[in-house]
Chain A
Amino acid sequence: MNTALLPTWFSVLRRQLQRAYQYYLTVILSLVLTLTMVFTVFSILDVAYLQPLPYEDSEQLYFVEGQMEYQGSMFTGTNSQNLLTLQQGNSIFSQFAIYFNWTSYKLYEQPTRPEVPVYMVSHNLFEVLKTKPVLGRFFNEQEALGNKQPSAILSYRVWQRHFAADPAVIGKSIQLNQRRFTIIGVTPDNWVLPQQTNATEAIWLPLDMDEQLNPKTFGGYSSAVKAVGRLQEGMSSEAASEQLSKQMAEAAAINTPEQAKTYPVSALLTPFELAVRADSGKIVLMLVVGVVLLMLIALINLGNLQLARAVSRIQPLAISFAFGATRRQIFLDVFRHNFQVAAVAAMLALLLTLLSFSLLQQIGSDFLPRLDALALSGFMLAFALLVILSIAMIFSWIELKAIDETQLQLSLQSSGKGTGKQLKKDVSHSLIGLQLLFSVLTLAASSQVLMANLTEALRPNQITTENLWTVVVNYSAIAEKDSRVNLQRAVSEHLARVPGVNLVSRSSEPRIPMALNWETINNEQGESLSNSRVISVDENQLALYGLAISGKSFSRDDLALKTKPVLINQRLADKLDGNPIGQKLLLNNQVRYEIIGIVGNTDFPGKRGFESAELYYPGHYSGELTDAFVLQTENEFAGLTHAELYQQLIAIDPRLDLVKVSTVSSDFDELNRNQRFAAWLAGAISLVSLLMVCAGISGMVSYMVRMRRYDLGVKLALGATQKQLLRSQLLELAKPVAVAAMFGFSLVFFVIGYSRTLPEWHFAIYWSELLLSIFFILLMTSISCVVPVWQVLRTDPIKALRNE
């Protein structure tokens, strides 16, 4: 390559990088990885705590939900009738609006008929939130309860994604399931509602326009029903909270007297901003602590590298000094260089952070608020600049601390014996020990997180999933129950004819529920036993999953019985005294069912919340809105895509809708996706921590050995063997390593012991993995110590004496 053609600055840059490629590679890589995590966590902090909500006077907004007491615990559940009663006559709120999200809707306008979240809202919701539309208008009295006005409001992202941000979208008609609506407005971007992660991508309809739930007559209590309001002037939140609970209980006594008797009803009033953040505070704090620790480790590691680099920078700095550079000018030169390095790393880190947003939204939306608003905001960029300046300042300080005027003068001497002022051995050893200590702690923690998540992800589900497919069909567009039953039969027969399908079995819901619907199970004496999943199945279903049954299973004849026998799972059986078989259970305190058998439990690795009591009863499909099939297939089954099966269903009847088609294995894999991701992340953190500590210790040992190169040269010249010198150097380094390892292990042991005294901190300890990770880090540290020492000892004594 003809370097004469390259611009000078490029040649100088290339030369600089070539001469110290290990340094630049280590520093930039370490900084990029660490800063990506720092910036990602800051972004989460930014959207959760720093970015204002898109509503005026949001500090005056309050979030309302109902609560019910059951067996000493409080559960969230709101009844829409109670909220309507509150809305009509209350002295607490000056403005009050209700919303819920219930039925699944598909946008029939689009060729792929995508599912979109749809919220039913009071006509005054937007007024309460104090927000203005981007296009058109929001609901007004025309969309008040009772008018059944088919108006629709699009969220900003729905408008962008499904309507190509068409400015002429107002007045257009859209089809949601089987009904048409007219678009009247578009919301601003970054909408947020507490506990709803999909508000930014929703469509908004008037309160009385849901296909299934009529808020005036709905008798259930659901966590899907919520309200927001602004307090009357002069009303304190404490007084409002007290009055609200009282009024909610009074409304419940009128609207749902039976439930109100069994489950005392109250209400929870939360500041809206706080409700948006919910329980994320602890998680955000953990994340912040985690990245601060990582940053500390990285800076200590890189600080060591800076010290080693300072040695090589003495001569150029001394020359600058000799030719008139003031301390300030030397500092500026050093600072400029470090700023450039930090800036390059930060820019790469910002890029990676940007790329990580979509992944974060996928896996974190259940735990962290407003992830849909993640962006490189002004705060973020200002923070990044602050970080760059701080890193440059720290690096420059370290580099210049190791150098003073005397040392610069000495380095201009021609003899080159030693390099003047050196870092004291105690300080060097302390830095090595400190790095190792932090890494031991990080590795110990991450190994436990890795094992905990991996153990959960790999936990067996106790059922057969091989060659099983789940198909869920929606019949809600068909009004007549008989027609639904006929169509379900037709679908079943069709599925049985699909090549490769051996058996088709039906149930009221798939093995992994799409929504948890519980019913109260009482024993024969009427005492409450448990909330339980109640599932209707045919005679083949349980055997298909390989579920062990003690007692009797269902027969085909059982499906037609009026008084049906039931099977219960082991979890429910454990709540009964004596032998459950033969005992009777009450469902919703009404019908008595005899237990004829006990089914093995199904576990849901990744979703322990699904591991509940289950009651099965035999039955045909009786006209519910949705029904599920399980298909047993051959090994060579070609598979079914959503699009293919959907076309086949609408060929049977165009009103049919396909909700789900997937393998049972993939359904279970989806459940523990977060655990698998967390395990990967913990593994990556462990690896990064290990690499950083090895680079840092190697750098520090390299620095220490270079400082003593002349001494080592003298010893070699006087007859010491390389092995003797290697042994003595390593013995010296073994002390801080051993102390750090022991201290680190003791600290971990103490934390584990202390956590045992706190019930909420109880977690499993994976001792062998913990010890293995500590052993591994010690091994890598030893290698990091041996390599630089051996490199110096391999040189000729004369070169060491001349310090070449």
Chain B
Amino acid sequence: MQTEVLKIKNLQKNFKSGDQVHQVLRNLSFSVAEGEYVSISGPSGCGKSTLLNILGLLDTPDGGEYYIDGLLVSEMNADQRAAMRSRRIGFVFQAFNLIDEYTVLDNVALPLKYRGDNHKARHQRALECLDKVGLADKAMLFPNQLSGGQQQRVSIARALAGDSGIMLVDEPTGNLDSKNGDAVMELLAELNRQGTTICLVTHDPRYAQMAHRQIRLLDGAVVSETTDLERVV
């Protein structure tokens, strides 16, 4: 039996717009096991990015419970959430979100800085991660000296650097052409084969199907959940 690393129960999130309250997530419940590759897809505005932000502790739910490794994290304070992010979550953004002032190496080492690792250890680990994504030779360059695909791979290396085991990926191919997008997706698949738990948000059905389990959202609720096995069947 695989260990549950992420679990949400009756998760709710609302957004206020003037006097109106719009329910973005409605009583969502599901879990992600260690080593699983889960995709979350759905049309624009279905709440998938909101869900990923909550899973990544970048946002807090208005109701329900969220567990990481069995710990109830939905009621943690800001510093506890930061510590959890640093230890357990690696995030990959659609817009890469690399810091232009830092070298590629420093960007990848950033999560380790806030964990308190020393300079040498950080850079060593960062180089290892860059090597995994095939960009060790670009360590001393700056982000704007890289192509979009390379920047996204650096972003993936950064998510790996903390050795968190869980990677949350938000529309990684949104700003890339199809060739680079395929390359990034292939990298993610390889990382999952190496044991990384991946939770991917995408609107592209091709990429959604690369995951072992696909969760479809509509208007903030799960409308379907399929696994590889079921698809074959």
Q: A665 at interface (Cβ–Cβ under 8 A)?
A: no
What is the CB-to-nearest-CB distance from B51 to chain A, in angstroms, rounded to a whole number?
14
Q: Is A324 a contact of B140 with CB atoms below 8 Å?
A: no
A761–B91 Cα distance when bound, in Å, is 68
Which residues of chain A have C-beta atoms less than 8 A from B59's C-beta? Answer: 409
Interfacial residues of chain B within 58-102, with CB under 8 A of chain A in the complex: 58-59, 78-79, 82-83, 85-87, 91, 93-95, 97-102
Q: B53 at interface (Cβ–Cβ under 8 A)?
A: yes
Q: A302 at interface (Cβ–Cβ under 8 A)?
A: no
Q: A259 at interface (Cβ–Cβ under 8 A)?
A: no
Binding-face segment, A10-18, A467-475, A581-589, A765-773:
A10-18
Q: Is A412 a contact of B111 with CB atoms below 8 Å?
A: no
Interfacial residues of chain A within 394-429, with CB under 8 A of chain B in the complex: 405, 409, 412-414, 416
Q: B207 at interface (Cβ–Cβ under 8 A)?
A: no
Given A326-B78, A326-B79: A414 in contact with B93 (beta carbons within 8 A): yes
Q: Is B111 a contact of A15 with CB atoms below 8 Å?
A: no
Q: B35 at interface (Cβ–Cβ under 8 A)?
A: no
Task: Name the contact of A8 in the complex, choosing from B82, B103, B158 (C-beta under 8 A).
Answer: B103
Q: Is B101 a contact of A322 with CB atoms below 8 Å?
A: no
Q: A319 at interface (Cβ–Cβ under 8 A)?
A: yes
The closest CB in chain A to the CB of B56 belongs to: A322
- Chain A 302-336 near chain B by CB (<8 Å), digits 1 or 0: 00000000000001101111111111110000000
Which residues of chain A have C-beta atoms less than 8 A from B171's C-beta? Answer: 414
Which residues of chain B have C-beta atoms less than 8 A from A172's C-beta? Answer: none
Q: B49 at interface (Cβ–Cβ under 8 A)?
A: yes
Q: Is A412 a contact of B86 with CB atoms below 8 Å?
A: no
Most chain A beta-carbon neighbours within 10 Å: one of B56, B101, B115: B101
Task: Name the contact of A413 in the complex, choosing from B49, B79, B140 (C-beta under 8 A).
Answer: B49
Given A8-B140, A322-B85, A414-B95: A327 in contact with B103 (beta carbons within 8 A): no
What is the CB-to-nearest-CB distance from B163 to chain A, in angstroms, rounded to a whole number?
12
Most chain B beta-carbon neighbours within 10 Å: one of A321, A324, A326: A324
Which residues of chain A have C-beta atoms less than 8 A from B99's C-beta? Answer: 315-316, 319
Q: B110 at interface (Cβ–Cβ under 8 A)?
A: yes
Q: B42 at interface (Cβ–Cβ under 8 A)?
A: no
Given A12-B103, A414-B171: A319 in contact with B110 (beta carbons within 8 A): yes
A325–B140 Cα distance when bound, in Å, is 23
Given A4-B140, A12-B102, A414-B95: A320 in contact with B58 (beta carbons within 8 A): no
The closest CB in chain B to the CB of A327 belongs to: B78
Given A4-B140, A413-B49: A324 in contact with B97 (beta carbons within 8 A): no
Which residues of chain B have C-beta atoms less than 8 A from A327's C-beta? Answer: 78-79, 82
The closest CB in chain B to the CB of A409 belongs to: B58
Which residues of chain A have C-beta atoms less than 8 A from B86's C-beta? Answer: 323-325
Interfacial residues of chain B within 154-174, with CB under 8 A of chain A in the complex: 158, 162, 171, 174
Q: A19 at interface (Cβ–Cβ under 8 A)?
A: yes
Q: Is A12 a contact of B101 with CB atoms below 8 Å?
A: yes
Task: Name the contact of A322 in the complex, choosing from B87, B97, B103, B115 (C-beta under 8 A).
Answer: B97
Q: Is A323 a contact of B111 with CB atoms below 8 Å?
A: yes
A324–B101 Cα distance when bound, in Å, is 19
The closest CB in chain B to the CB of A15 belongs to: B101
Q: Is A324 a contact of B115 with CB atoms below 8 Å?
A: yes
Q: Is A324 a contact of B87 with CB atoms below 8 Å?
A: yes
Given A4-B140, A327-B78: A320 in contact with B114 (beta carbons within 8 A): yes
Q: Is B158 a contact of A324 with CB atoms below 8 Å?
A: no
A323–B163 Cα distance when bound, in Å, is 12
A107–B47 Cα distance when bound, in Å, is 93
Given A4-B140, A329-B114, A405-B78: A323 in contact with B91 (beta carbons within 8 A): yes
What is the CB-to-nearest-CB distance from B177 to chain A, in angstroms, rounded to a whole number?
16
Interfacial residues of chain B within 162-211, with CB under 8 A of chain A in the complex: 162, 171, 174-175
Given A19-B100, A19-B101, A409-B53: A323 in contact with B79 (beta carbons within 8 A): no
22 A-B residue pairings within 8 Å (CB atoms): A4-B140, A8-B103, A8-B140, A19-B100, A315-B97, A316-B101, A319-B98, A319-B110, A320-B110, A320-B114, A322-B93, A323-B111, A323-B114, A324-B162, A325-B82, A326-B83, A327-B82, A329-B82, A329-B114, A412-B95, A414-B94, A414-B175
Residues of chain A whose beta carbon lies under 8 Å from any beta carbon of chain B: 4, 8, 11-12, 15-16, 19, 315-316, 318-329, 405, 409, 412-414, 416
Q: What are the 8 closest A-B residue pairs judged by CB atoms, nearest first?
A: A324-B86, A323-B111, A325-B114, A326-B82, A324-B114, A324-B85, A414-B94, A414-B95
Given contacts A319-B98, A324-B85, A325-B113, 17 further A-B contacts (CB under 8 A): A8-B103, A12-B106, A16-B101, A19-B100, A19-B101, A322-B85, A322-B91, A322-B93, A323-B91, A323-B162, A324-B111, A324-B162, A328-B79, A329-B114, A412-B58, A413-B49, A416-B95
